[in-house]
Structure 1
Amino acid sequence: MQLYNTLSAKERAALIEEAGQERLTISFYKYAHIGNPKIFRNHLFITWNELDVLGRIYVANEGINAQLSVPAENFEAFKEHLDSISFLENVRLNIAIEQDNMSFLKLKVKVRNKIVADGLNDATFDVTNKGIHVGAEKFNELIEDPDTILVDMRNHYESEIGHFKNAITPDVDTFRDSLDIIENDLKEHKEDKKLVMYCTGGIRCEKASAYYKHKGFKQVYQLEGGIIDYTRQVQNNKLENKFLGKNFVFDHRRSERISEDIISNCHQCGKPCDTHVNCANEACHLLFIQCDECAAQMDNCCSDDCKKVNALPYEEQKKLRKGKGASNKIFKKGRSEVLKFKQ
Structure 2
Amino acid sequence: MQLWNKLSREELVEKLNESGFKFVTVSFYKYAPIENVQVFRDHLFQMWSELDVVGRTYVAHEGINAQISIPIPNFERFRNELYSISFLDGVRLNIAVDESATEHPFLKLKIKVRPKILADGLNDETFNPSDTGKHLKVEEFNALTDDPETILIDMRNHYETEVGHFKGAITPDVDTFRDSLPIIEEEILKGNEDKNIVMYCTGGIRCEKASAWFKHQGYKNVHQLEGGIIKYANDAKASGLENKFIGKNFVFDERRGERISDDIIAVCHQCGEACDTHTNCVNDACHLLFIQCDSCKEKYENCCSEDCQDVIHLPEEEQKALRKGKENSNKIFKKGRSEKLKFKGSACMDA
Verify same fold: TM over 0.5: yes
Do 1:152 and 1:168's aligned partners in 2 also have CA atoms closer than 8 Å? yes
Deviation at 1:6, TM superposition (A): 2.6
Do 1:134 and 1:222's aligned partners in 2 also have CA atoms closer than 8 Å? yes
Q: Residue 119 of structure 2 corresponds to which residue in structure 1?
A: 117
Q: Residue 192 of structure 2 corresponds to which residue in structure 1?
A: 189
Between the aligned partners of 1:156 and 1:101, the Cα distance in structure 2 is: 27
Determine whether 1:240 maps to 2:242.
Answer: yes
Q: Which runs of 5+ in 2 are unaligned?
A: 346-351
> 3-state SS of the aligned residue for 1:26?
strand
Q: Give runs of ≥4 in structure 1 deviating > 6 Å.
A: none
Between the aligned partners of 2:49 and 2:154, the Cα distance in structure 1 is: 35
Between the aligned partners of 1:189 and 1:131, the Cα distance in structure 2 is: 16
> 3-state SS of the aligned residue for 1:245?
strand
Q: Residue 148 of structure 1 corresponds to which residue in structure 2?
A: 150
> 3-state SS of the aligned residue for 1:123?
coil
Note closer, same or farther for the CA distance 1:75–1:245 as it changes in structure 2 (3 Å cut): same
Do 2:23 and 2:70's aligned partners in 1 also have CA atoms closer than 8 Å? yes
Matches within 5 A, 1:2-151: 2-99=2-99, 100-151=102-153
Q: Residue 217 of structure 1 corresponds to which residue in structure 2?
A: 219
Q: Residue 261 of structure 1 corresponds to which residue in structure 2?
A: 263
Percent sequence identity is 65
Instruction: Give the total of aligned pairs.
Output: 342
Deviation at 1:14, TM superposition (A): 1.4
Q: Residue 297 of structure 1 corresponds to which residue in structure 2?
A: 299
Do 1:284 and 1:329's aligned partners in 2 also have CA atoms closer than 8 Å? no
Do 1:284 and 1:326's aligned partners in 2 also have CA atoms closer than 8 Å? no
Q: Residue 277 of structure 2 corresponds to which residue in structure 1?
A: 275
Deviation at 1:210, TM superposition (A): 1.0
Between the aligned partners of 1:163 and 1:63, the Cα distance in structure 2 is: 28
Do 2:33 and 2:61's aligned partners in 1 also have CA atoms closer than 8 Å? yes
Do 1:264 and 1:272's aligned partners in 2 also have CA atoms closer than 8 Å? yes
Letter in 2 for 1:74: N
Between the aligned partners of 2:253 and 2:135, the Cα distance in structure 1 is: 26
Between the aligned partners of 1:106 and 1:29, the Cα distance in structure 2 is: 19
Do 1:24 and 1:101's aligned partners in 2 also have CA atoms closer than 8 Å? no
Between the aligned partners of 1:230 and 1:328, the Cα distance in structure 2 is: 30
Q: Which runs of 5+ in 1 are unaligned?
A: none
Between the aligned partners of 2:128 and 2:180, the Cα distance in structure 1 is: 20
What TM-score does the superposition give when structure 2 sets the normalisation length?
Answer: 0.94
> 3-state SS of the aligned residue for 1:150?
strand
Deviation readout 1:2-28 (Å, 9 max, x if unpaired): 111132222111122222221111100
Deviation at 1:80, TM superposition (A): 1.2
Letter in 2 for 1:202: G
Deviates more, 1:145-154 or 1:11-20: 11-20
Q: Residue 348 of structure 2 corresponds to which residue in structure 1?
A: none
Do 1:283 and 1:327's aligned partners in 2 also have CA atoms closer than 8 Å? no
What TM-score does the superposition give when structure 1 sets the normalisation length?
Answer: 0.97
Between the aligned partners of 2:253 and 2:343, the Cα distance in structure 1 is: 25
